Amino acid sequence: MQAPLALLRVAFATLAAYLIVAGAPPARALSITPDPAVFNLDLGGGVLLKGNIDFVGMVTGTPGGGIVLDGSVGAGDITLIFTATIDADSDFGLATTYISRFPNLSPVFSGVGTIPGAGVDVTNGFVGSSSATVHYDSPNELDPGETSDAFFISFSSISIGDQLNLEYVILPLGTVTVVPEPQLTVLLLLGVGALGLRVRKRLV
């Protein structure tokens, strides 16, 4: 029978492995919070810009049916997919969305693109290592009551806990944080819980 100290060492080693997985998630294991990112901005004189940026999902590389508008998307790059919607009672539309990283965080942007569909076209996109911009229905905009086609932002490097600013020109639309998919969090908790139960049984 193994000594309690040896069992505890095994437990801590296995727990460390779970935490490493949590810090470097596998493909299709990321989400964002809050989702959707809701905005309600007073542009002055009671003129409101209302809507949301909705997280659709995550893939690696270029999404199926996707078109890269700027940059280069590697097969292993993490790609986050979004849509934008303007509320029907908004007084104003949305021409662009600017996505940038916090200065002290380290996601590296690699590409921006669109997945054409039934929504309003995403007509242009521009990407640098620390930000990306999408344009809706240029030279027009995303009008009240409309939802855009899906657009995607790809990263050669991104981590859980990284934060992204969403803006329209200099107006803040919100801040989102990269988090594990809820399913991954549950699996990690179940795994650690099961490990603890096995250790407790063997120590008794």
Tens-place pLDDT, residues 148-166: 999 999 999 999 999 999 9
Tokens representing 115 are: 């997945």
Q: How far is CA 3 from CA 6, 11, 12, 79, 200, in A?
A: 5, 13, 15, 47, 13
Q: Which pLDDT does position 103 carry in this prediction?
A: 77
Greater model confidence, 85 or 8: 85
Residues 196 and 165 occupy one common structural domain: no
The reply to whether 85 and 117 lie within a common domain is: yes
Interval 134-138 mean pLDDT: 94
Beta carbons within 8 Å of 149's beta carbon, 6+ residues apart: 83, 114, 115, 116, 117, 118, 119, 120, 121, 122
Same domain, 94 and 82: yes
The model's confidence at residue 183, banded by pLDDT at 50, 70 and 90, is low
| Average pLDDT rounded to a whole number, residues 14-43 | 66
| Main-chain dihedrals φ then ψ at residue 203, nearest 5 degrees | -80, -20
**Over residues 37-61, mean pLDDT:** 95
Tell me what pLDDT residue 106 has.
80
- Report the percent of the chain where pLDDT is more than 70: 75
67 in the same domain as 119: yes
If asked whether residues 204 and 122 sit together in one domain, one would say no
Same domain as 48, residue 105: yes
Quick one: pLDDT band at residue 189, thresholds 50, 70, 90?
very low
3-class state of residue 151 by DSSP? strand
Its domain, for residue 189, covers 1-25+181-204
Is 57 a residue whose pLDDT tops 70? yes
Residue 66 pLDDT > 90: yes
- Within this chain, do residues 61 and 44 fall inside the same structural domain, yes or no? yes
Going by C-beta distance under 8 Å and a sequence separation of 6 or more, which residues neighbour residue 167? 97, 98, 99, 100, 173
Does the bond joining 4 to the residue before it have cis omega, within 30 degrees of 0? no
Both 88 and 21 in one domain: the answer is no
Distance from C-alpha of 93 to C-alpha of 49, rounded to nearest angstrom: 7
Contacts of 72 by beta carbon, 8 Å cutoff, 6+ apart:
110, 111
The mean pLDDT of the chain is: 82
The torsion of the CA quartet 71, 168, 58, 62, rounded to 10 degrees, works out to -20
The per-residue pLDDT for 6 is 44
150 and 57, same structural domain?
Answer: yes
What CA–CA distance (Å, rounded) separates 74 from 105? 21
Identify whether residues 19 and 35 lie together within a single domain. no
Model confidence band, residue 138 (pLDDT cutoffs 50, 70, 90): confident
Q: How confident is the model at residue 182 (pLDDT cuts 50, 70, 90)?
A: confident
Give phi and psi for 2, each to the nearest 5: -70, 145
- Determine the average pLDDT of the residues in 135-156: 96
How many distinct structural domains can be found in the chain? 2
Are 157 and 190 contained in the same domain? Answer: no
